[in-house]
Structure 1
Amino acid sequence: MSRLPLDQIDAFVTAARMKNLTRAAEAMHLTVSALSHRMRLLEERVGHKLLARGPRGVELTPEGQRLFDAVATPLDAIGHALQRMSARNDHVITLSLIPSMATAWLVPRLPDFLAANPELGLNLQSSTHVVDFDREPVDMALRLGGGRWPGVRAEHLFHEWIQPVASPAFLKRHGKPALARIGSLPLLGDPSDRWKEWFAEFGGEAPRRFVAQFDDTETLHQAAAQGMGVALARLTLAEPLIKAGRLVPLTGKCLQADFAHYLVYPERSLAHPDFQTVRKWVLDQARVDA
């Protein structure tokens, strides 16, 4: 074997600990299909089935248990070693968040905050990888999920809402339909597959197939902005495209998304001298969107 598949091992260890692929994918900011793909690659690499579906989720096979026993502790040790070696500046807060949330929500609000707090540095880690506070020198994170993560505090910021959107060029070609006839237009499949719930709530029928399907929200929004079809957009993340006129809501109706936005942090962050300043600011900003 050549290069170590650390992303696959990380996915395996996370799934094994949580015993649930959906929760593991949520914790890693991946789709279930992306997590399953990493698992398949690892199983092909080692030549054994590592996880098996059980009555309450997934369970380790005998081969999976042996691999877990061999890699979980060293993986944790690597994380702890990196954390201890990382230089720490007491006036810098490190915040982790996904790139689309950084672009759409946090960055536009930063100039006023930094101007009012010139002595404080904010280090943004923009990544789709969910931070492991036990292994990484990160003080807080913005997460989209169910609000229950082991070993951390999670404060609710605001709900996410979803709404069908399309580009102006697309609407010029197809027209803006009545609410119950949205399903007659070319639709783009979304990562969480909420179209079924949309039609159940507001009427209409889903098409037999989507024009295209996407495993991440940002690419879905960009595809809609390019005129490929109608997307069921997460409004917080799609806001820049809507404000720029590249996406247009098809209706004023919205459906509450399955996940909400949270500020997440470990207990140790409370000892950071500037933590409460950033925390209060994030919570104040979230109240505007609540």
Structure 2
Amino acid sequence: MGRLPLTALEGFLLAARLGNLSRAATQLNLTVSALSHQMRGLEERLGQRLLVRGSRGVSLTAEGERLLEGIALPFAAIERALRQCQVPSDDILTLSLMPSMASSWLLPRLPDFLAAHPELQINLQSNTTLVNFDQEPVDVAIRFGAGQWPGLTAEHLFDEWLTPVASPALIAKLGRTRLRDLSGCPLLGDPGGRWTAWFARFGGTPPTRFVAQFSDSEPLHRAAVEGLGIALGRMTMARPLVDTDRLRLLGKQRLRAEFSHYLVYPPRSEKRQSVRLFRDWLLLQAREYAVTVEPRKAGGRKP
């Protein structure tokens, strides 16, 4: 068969993992056209169709599944060997986090960190999938979860708080609305069905139907900004919109979300100076932010 098509196999492996040619091409510093050409060449070489292109990305054929199963472990072993031989540059910090967390919380604060440490370069990878520290050259991650990831250090940053928010135009249209009467208002269904917990905590009856349902928090908040309905907003995402008066809070009540935000990193990152600097700065930012969003009882004590 001649020389092994290692470049094409690497592209196939990444496309299969991500389920998206565009994202795979970006990580490989290729155009989508170039990566598609590699995939077609690989399929022609093997005489098998490996990928099925669709409107939402790519999926694997049965032959593609078999190829992925055969090459995933060898490529992972090669990546581990290369990382062990490579001395990481301590002036580069690679960070993984969700796009919503990046745009609404971290990016507005990041200039202060870079101004204090101009010698550092931040490589920010924003995606919705959990990074695999064993397979990817990522130093730290900001994750939303229960705080338990085997083999990793997880440091609590802050809790997530939920509260009803709506656009100024919708509030003006609805008039004065008591929180107990929200079930009679146009509500937006949130990921996880948190409205049920809200009504159980603060009273009222959950609605029998929502104006619209959302599986992701980012379009949920965008829909609220457009006046589609009242959202049970996540403060990390709603706060910047409230500060710019694109959304308004309907009251002071807050519901603690099931999960919290954590800084997560593997043992290999602990001794890196860039990681220590970022960790110390991030924990300070988290403490300052938590004070502004966490509800307090009379006397200044948290509930």
1:285 aligns with 2:285: yes
Equivalent runs, 1:175-214 vs 2, <5 Å: 175-214=175-214
Letter in 2 for 1:99: P
Aligned to 1:120: 120
Q: In 1, Cα distance between the equivalents of 2:120 and 2:242?
A: 32
Q: In 2, Cα distance between the equivalents of 1:80 and 1:259?
A: 33
Q: In 2, Cα distance between the equivalents of 1:77 and 1:190?
A: 41
Deviation at 1:175, TM superposition (A): 1.7
Deviation at 1:120, TM superposition (A): 1.3
- Please provide the CA RMSD for this pair: 2.7
Look up the SS of the partner of 2:269 in the other structure.
Answer: helix
Aligned to 1:234: 234
User: Do the aligned residues in 2 keep the contact of 1:80 with 1:136 (CA within 8 Å)?
Assistant: no
Relative to structure 1, is the Cα distance of residues 212 and 79 closer, same or farther in structure 2, using a 3 angstrom cutoff? farther
Relative to structure 1, is the Cα distance of residues 141 and 74 closer, same or farther in structure 2, using a 3 angstrom cutoff? same
Deviation at 1:5, TM superposition (A): 4.5
Deviations along 1:66-102, whole A, 9 cap, x unmatched? x89x966843543454563799533101011111111
Look up the SS of the partner of 1:6 in the other structure.
Answer: helix
Question: Which moved further from structure 2: 248-257 or 167-176?
Answer: 167-176
User: Do the aligned residues in 2 keep the contact of 1:176 with 1:250 (CA within 8 Å)?
Assistant: no
Deviation at 1:198, TM superposition (A): 0.4
Deviations along 1:107-154, whole A, 9 cap, x unmatched? 111122111111111111111121110110000000011101122110
TM-score using structure 1 length: 0.74
Aligned to 2:32: none
Flag the structure with larger Rg. Answer: 2
Q: In 2, Cα distance between the equivalents of 1:76 and 1:101?
A: 32
Aligned length: 236
Q: In 2, Cα distance between the equivalents of 1:143 and 1:112?
A: 21
Deviation at 1:281, TM superposition (A): 0.7
Relative to structure 1, is the Cα distance of residues 6 and 115 closer, same or farther in structure 2, using a 3 angstrom cutoff? closer
Runs (4+) of structure 1 moved beyond 6 Å? none
Look up the SS of the partner of 2:151 in the other structure.
Answer: coil
Relative to structure 1, is the Cα distance of residues 213 and 81 closer, same or farther in structure 2, using a 3 angstrom cutoff? farther
User: Do the aligned residues in 2 keep the contact of 1:211 with 1:229 (CA within 8 Å)?
Assistant: yes
Equivalent runs, 1:14-163 vs 2, <5 Å: 74-79=71-76, 81-82=78-79, 84=82, 88-163=88-163
Q: In 1, Cα distance between the equivalents of 2:187 and 2:110?
A: 35
Q: In 1, Cα distance between the equivalents of 2:68 and 2:246?
A: 46
1:6 aligns with 2:17: yes
1:217 aligns with 2:214: no
Letter in 2 for 1:289: Y
Aligned to 2:53: none
Deviations along 1:203-261, whole A, 9 cap, x unmatched? 11111111111111011000000000010111012211111101111111000000000
Look up the SS of the partner of 2:273 in the other structure.
Answer: coil
Letter in 2 for 1:78: F
User: Do the aligned residues in 1 keep the contact of 2:183 with 2:205 (CA within 8 Å)?
Assistant: yes
Look up the SS of the partner of 1:156 in the other structure.
Answer: strand
TM-score using structure 2 length: 0.71
Q: In 1, Cα distance between the equivalents of 2:174 and 2:219?
A: 22
Look up the SS of the partner of 2:264 in the other structure.
Answer: strand
User: Do the aligned residues in 1 keep the contact of 2:16 with 2:68 (CA within 8 Å)?
Assistant: no
**Which sections of structure 2, spanning at least 5 residues, go unmatched?**
1-11, 20-57, 291-303
Look up the SS of the partner of 1:130 in the other structure.
Answer: coil
Q: In 1, Cα distance between the equivalents of 2:77 and 2:162?
A: 38
Look up the SS of the partner of 2:263 in the other structure.
Answer: strand
Q: In 2, Cα distance between the equivalents of 1:103 and 1:221?
A: 13
